[in-house]
Amino acid sequence: MLNIRGMTRYAALLRGIAPSNPNMTNDKLRAVFDGLGFAKVTSVLASGNIVFGADEQDTALLETRIQEALQTELGIGGATIVRSHAELRALLDIDPFPGLTHGRSTYLIATFLRDGAQSDPGKLPAPESAGARIVGYDPAARALLAVVDNSEPGKASKFMALLERTYGTDITTRSWLTVQRIVTKLES
């Protein structure tokens, strides 16, 4: 469902959510979004993915409102990145990983950049090791797409550290399977 009585469907991708933290449970996260007056609030998995409907069209304003509420009500200070259903659906539709499969040793990932990210997203970082291959950057979804070799301990962590050194902390990464689940939830 794309539009609920004039509302746009969005996904909030929250950085730094630890489901074991009592202030970061899905029910508490959803309560913050409900308190902000958003419609059809639901969570996807237990890692900080909330889908909702809103009249607001300015995603930067939504990010700020949500982040301030999360900080005030739950003490959560990580980045909040908001993408519309249309942006995420278009990202899936371009099929950036043709012929590749997400699995235990090979992760297909999308790293979403907030507008305040430090570096130019068009200038892609060079992976420090053969453990990661950057597929590209999707400007519409503001997402860096990569394949990470997770067959050896530490490779994925090194790549995540490289992304943070390059773009700062206004980023959050999701597996391709999680992005697919979020879009499915946005469409239900």
Summarize pLDDT for 137-164 with one digit per residue, the tens: 898 899 999 998 888 777 778 888 888 8
Average pLDDT across the chain, whole number? 87
Task: List pLDDT tens digits, range 95-136.
Answer: 999 988 888 878 899 999 987 665 666 667 776 665 788 888
**Which residues face 52 on adjacent strands?**
10
- Minimum mean pLDDT among 22-26, 53-57, 81-85, 117-121: which range? 117-121
| Same fold yes or no, 3-88 and 97-176 | yes
pLDDT of residue 55: 92
Residue extents of the structural domains in the chain: 3-88, 97-176
What is the CATH code for 3-88?
A: 3.30.70.1280
DSSP three-state, residue 124: coil
Contact 175, 97 (CB under 8 A): no
Residues 6+ apart with CB under 8 A from 118: 166, 167, 168, 170
Q: How far is CA 47 from CA 14, 116, 137, 173, in A?
A: 8, 22, 23, 11
What is the CATH code for 97-176?
A: 3.30.70
pLDDT of residue 152: 75
pTM of the full structure: 0.89
pLDDT of residue 10: 97
Which of 118, 122, 95 minimizes the C-alpha distance to 180? 95
